[in-house]
Each structure stands twice: as C-alpha cells, then as structure tokens.
Amino acid sequence: MLVASSDVARQTGLKPWALSLPFGANQDGSELVLKFLEHAEVSGARFVTDLQVVFSTEEEGQPLECRTPLTPEGPGAGARASWGHMASATGTSFVALQRVHRPFSDVQLTCKEDAPLVMVSLGQRRYEHDEYPPLRVDSFHVRQPTRWCASAPVTRYRSLYRFEDAVGFTPPRAELIRQARPGLRLVRSGAECVLLAPDAPRGNRIEAIAYGGQGPDAALLKGLDDVAMPSVDL
C-alpha cells in the first residue's frame, strides 16, 4: 500500500472510499498514523490519499475544525506554510493556530569511532630438522577500528498548535513513522482552521481517502464517535 497524491491514485481507476479513525485526549500522533495505515492495509486498500489529522475545537463559543495534512515527501509537500500561522478562508485569525512550546523527555544517542594502535603477537615454529624447534614470537602494531555508542536522557521542546495542546496531542514525527515504515516519508504541513458547519461531523480523527480494497468495514474501524470539544483559552 502506498500513500500517494490523489492524482496518482485516480489514474489507477480503483474505487475511492472514505476512512477515518477517531481518537480522544492524550494521544501520540505517530502511533495513530501507523495504526490508521495498518487498518487501511487490512481492508486491502492499494493507495491512501488526502491523509490528515482533524480536530474539532471551540473559540469564543464558535465551533472550529482544524486540519493538518500529512503528504508524501516530494515537490510541493508541506508547501502550505509549514509553520502554519494561517487563517480561515475569510481571513479571520484564530488563537487556535498560535504555537506553544512544551518540554518532553527524550534519549540522545551519541556514537564515536576510533582506530587505536594495538600490539599483536604471532608465534610460530618451523619444523625442518629439529623435532621440537624453538617458538619464534613476532610482535607488531596494527590499528583496530572501534565504534562505541552511549545514550543519555535529554530534554527537548516540541512546537504545538493550541488546538493540539488543549487535548494533550503529540504531533506525528516523520522519523518515527519512517522507522516503522522505511519507504514512507511524510511531511506535516501547516494547519488551517475554519468555522465548523452545523451539519459537519465532529470529533478528533485521522482521515483519508482509500483506493481499492473492501471498504471501511473490512478495515475494522468503528464509525466516527463524538468526543468532547476542548475550548481554546483566549
């Protein structure tokens, strides 16, 4: 299964269908994306397009929907303002799109290489005429390449949108997704918030369009459940 652009997927002639994975508070985006893709594969989907993380939130009593696209690496990926201080289609600036910085614990691995000189001794006997010839020992120096690594705890800072911070969401990390799926390189674009229409679905979720396969029932995903909408403090 490939995460591709909609143009590439449409050219296959496969039937498209919508797929979504709802989630609640304090979730890790990398784990959610990997889980989402696993379910898409279970359904037999050949392609996944328009992958994005969607949040339902509120600001000044107005319901908002904030979306962060995840696009495959390539020309144009992440072009929609990677730092995301964008506004709605009407030009209204939302507090939900402001950035906050939160510390988190991580482990840093440091590796070094060296080639120290070591002494090597080589002993040999030459059996010609003597039954027990003397042992001849030759010593010489060689360089022996070595590599050692050490890990140490470090404190890092992640940049979050306010609508992500309000529910304790950890944004997807491209390097973690790539470790689990070496061929997949995703770029997280800037978010955009718009006023939520009264009849629009609500709830935080990952969604995409799948091509091929047997549909959402085969993907073993439940229907979108309503979850509480966090308010963004002004």
Nearest of 57, 50, 87 to residue 71 by alpha carbon: 50
Question: pLDDT grade, residue 127 (50/70/90)?
Answer: low
pLDDT digits (tens, 9 = 90+) for 31-68: 999 999 998 988 888 999 999 999 998 887 888 899 99
Nearest of 168, 148, 171 to residue 159 by alpha carbon: 171
Q: What predicted TM-score, i.e. pTM, was given to this entire model?
A: 0.70
Average pLDDT over all residues of the chain: 80
Nearest of 150, 206, 179 to residue 32 by alpha carbon: 206
Query: φ, ψ for residue 33 (rounded to 5)?
Result: -65, -45
pLDDT digits (tens, 9 = 90+) for 2-41: 898 888 888 888 889 998 999 999 999 999 999 999 989 8
Answer whether residue 224 shows pLDDT above 70. no
